[in-house]
Structure 1
Amino acid sequence: MELRGYAYIMASGRNGTLYIGATSDLAKRAWEHRNGVVEGFTKKYGCKLLVWYQAFESLEAARHREKQMKEWKRLWKLREIETMNPDWDDLYDRIAMP
């Protein structure tokens, strides 16, 4: 059985550094980015805000979207974020379990 998947964007701030990823557990992965528990790009560049995400029926579909978006021009990525989240709010609290 395929896992549900999510493509997501973490940012260092409004119009800041962006990171695009895919995961089967968005709340857990966003928490890891926010708390810097994994060495890598998001920790190095301070990408702690979950500013965009999209749910998919499978992790494979989410990874496909991630790869597509990584090829996009920055302006397209910003437009995608601002369509869902015009104020660049941190969406973590909306998806995290209490």
Structure 2
Amino acid sequence: MADRYRGAMYIGVTASLMARVHQHRAGTGSDHCHRYGLTRLVWAERGDDIGACIAHEKRLKRWRREWKFALIERGNPNWLDLTEQLA
């Protein structure tokens, strides 16, 4: 989740992406998203093993901001909200 192009970001894991996006937009998803107004879904990855997904999330959280920007911009260079594409 992000607030704008190259702005504040949030990384998380969920079993139901659309439900979690709706929670973040309603201000009930996470304190971080609520505090910084993170309502734009700019990147999502799918995984089959929850343990591997959580490990990947923790790895991404340790990345430098520029690395996260590069990851997002490889698939979403304009940081568009991807929610409609997933619905």
Please indicate, yes or no, whether the TM-score normalized by the shorter chain is above 0.5. Answer: yes
For structure 1, the residue ranges without an aligned partner over 5 or more in a row are 1-9
Work out whether residues 23 and 62 of structure 1, in 8 Å CA contact, stay in contact via their aligned partners in 2: no
Structure 1 residues 39 and 51 mapped into 2: Cα distance closer, same or farther (>3 Å)? Answer: closer
Q: Which of 64, 81, 84 pairs up with 1:90?
A: 81
CA contact (8 A) 2:20 2:29 kept: no
Q: How many angstroms does 1:53 deviate by? A: 0.7
1:16 maps to a residue whose letter is: G
Please identify which structure carries the higher helix content. 2
Q: Is the contact made by 1:50 and 1:92 (CA closer than 8 Å) also made in structure 2?
A: yes
- Paired residue type of 2:85: R
Question: Relative to structure 2, which stretch is displaced further, 48-57 or 37-46?
Answer: 37-46
Q: Distance in 2 between matches of 1:81 and 1:75?
A: 10
Distance in 2 between residues matched to 1:59 and 1:95, nearest whole Å = 20
RMSD, matched Cα? 1.1
Tell me the CA shift for residue 38 of structure 1. Answer: 3.7
**1:39 CA displacement:** 5.2
1:36 and 2:18 correspond: no
TM-score after normalising by structure 2: 0.93
Dislocated runs of 4+, deviation >3 Å: none
Matched positions, count: 87
Q: Letter of the 1:30 partner, please give it.
A: V
Structure 2 counterpart of 1:64, one-letter code: A
Structure 1 residue aligned with 2:9: 18
> 1:62 is aligned with what amino acid?
C
TM-score (norm 1): 0.83
Consecutive unaligned residues in structure 2, runs of 5 or more: none
